[in-house]
């Protein structure tokens, strides 16, 4: 049966997400981030005939909204020492995509490493579009009708999927990384201010306008997996310093337990004058049919280190 109220809410969220992508000139791969951002903003937007905004009704007091920032604007975040060289600047440019799900912070697209991270203390320049630093992405954003074609398509797909929550690409909770930013601010960020989210995140996520979102059957698999690929670390060091370290650590433990269980290796004495082939961790994210994200880690031999004699 159709639900007119829910359908209208879904349509409004999709239209807002479309507008965000269009105005920010960001590529289509950020469609899920745009929807999540639209929902957060919707929860703090006044309603006609209502004295309180939805979030205020839920938490019982007027929330602080000074943490709200412009979608797609330029953001500068701190890079830990272990993630940079001695002469690298401690700050890096990114793009503001939204707000962390299970903790206070922001979701930032790391332009250099092409992945989405979550940070708490950020410098913003809302007068600059982050898409300026992505290269040629404008053409892709204009053709997003294939994603948001019609409300009817979305409702038809609802009966064929178990994905019934709004946070499409949000990540599990992780330890907070509250960094100060003692680096020199680039010229295009002279008027920015370091901000932190003050509203408790658990109040932002539970129960307020969590309208089911149905995805169109016309979505291509490549588009649906883009956000997952953005969060995959390329090395053990990146995994350890990511917001999802607890999940990656658990995945590595499962891999080692499996290798030990199947007796993959045998401990022997190292032969004399022999160079051993090193090993490395390979990480991946898998999404099940019901929308659940699984963290995978594999221990492999770094065969490229072998030297032919």
User: Tens digit of pLDDT for each residue in 144-177?
Assistant: 445 444 444 444 444 444 444 444 444 443 444 4
Nearest to 80 by CA among 182, 221, 209, 192: 182
What CA–CA distance (Å, rounded) separates 241 from 117?
A: 10
User: How much of the chain exceeds pLDDT 70, in percent?
Assistant: 64
CA pair distance 224, 29, nearest whole angstrom: 8
Q: Residue 304 has what pLDDT?
A: 58
- Report how far residue 114's alpha carbon sits from residue 112's, in angstroms, rounded to the nearest whole number: 6
**Residue 100: pLDDT above 80?**
yes
For helices 31-42 and 4-24, give the axis angle rounded to 10 degrees.
Answer: 120
Domain ranges of the chain: 3-144, 231-267+276-308
pLDDT single digits (tens) 199-212: 444 444 444 444 44
Q: Is residue 101 within 8 Å of residue 205, measured between CB atoms?
A: yes
pTM confidence score: 0.45
Q: Can you give the pLDDT at residue 271?
A: 83
Query: Looking at the predicted structure, is the pLDDT value of residue 98 above 80?
Result: yes
Give per-residue pLDDT as tens, 248-280. 899 999 999 888 888 888 888 888 878 788 888
Contact (Cβ atoms closer than 8 angstroms) between residue 144 and residue 28: yes
Q: What is the pLDDT of residue 73?
A: 93
Confidence of residue 62 (pLDDT cuts 50, 70, 90): confident
Using a 10 angstrom Cβ sphere, with 0-12 exposed, 13-18 middle and 19 or more buried, the burial of residue 112 is: exposed
pLDDT recorded at residue 67:
84
Are 188 and 125 in contact by the 8 Å Cβ rule? The answer is yes
Beta bridge partners of 296: 284
Q: What are the φ/ψ torsions at residue 226 (nearest 5 degrees)? A: -60, -45
Residue 131 · residue 24 · CB < 8 Å: yes
- Measure the CA angle with vertex 289, ends 286 and 293; round to 5°: 35
């Amino acid at each position: 049966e159709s639900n007119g109220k829910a359908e209208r809410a879904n349509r409004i969220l999709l239209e807002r997400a479309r507008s965000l992508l269009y105005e920010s000139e960001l590529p289509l791969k950020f469609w899920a981030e745009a929807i999540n951002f639209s929902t957060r903003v919707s929860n703090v937007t006044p309603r006609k005939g209502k004295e309180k905004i939805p979030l205020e009704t839920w938490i019982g007091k007027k929330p602080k909204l000074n943490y709200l920032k412009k979608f797609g604007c330029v953001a500068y975040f701190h890079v830990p020492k272990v993630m940079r060289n001695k002469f690298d600047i401690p700050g890096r440019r990114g793009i503001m995509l939204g707000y962390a799900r299970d903790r206070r912070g922001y979701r930032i697209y790391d332009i250099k490493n092409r992945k989405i991270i979550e940070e708490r203390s950020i410098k913003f320049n809302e007068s600059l579009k982050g898409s300026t630093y992505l290269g040629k992405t404008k053409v892709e954003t204009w053709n997003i009708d294939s994603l948001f074609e019609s409300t009817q398509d979305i409702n038809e797909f609802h009966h064929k999927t178990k994905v019934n929550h709004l946070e499409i690409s949000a990540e599990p909770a992780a330890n907070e990384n509250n960094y100060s930013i003692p680096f020199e601010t680039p010229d295009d960020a002279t008027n920015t201010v370091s901000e932190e989210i003050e509203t408790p995140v658990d109040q932002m996520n539970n129960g307020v306008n969590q309208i089911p979102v149905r995805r169109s059957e016309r979505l291509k698999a490549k588009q649906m997996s883009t956000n997952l690929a953005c969060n995959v670390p390329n090395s053990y060091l990146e995994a350890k310093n990511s917001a999802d370290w607890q999940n990656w650590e658990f995945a590595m433990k499962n891999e080692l337990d499996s290798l030990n269980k199947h007796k993959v290796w045998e401990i022997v004495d190292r032969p004399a004058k022999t160079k051993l082939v090193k090993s490395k961790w390979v990480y991946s994210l898998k999404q099940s049919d019901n929308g659940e994200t699984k963290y995978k880690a594999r221990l492999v031999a770094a065969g490229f280190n072998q030297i032919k004699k």
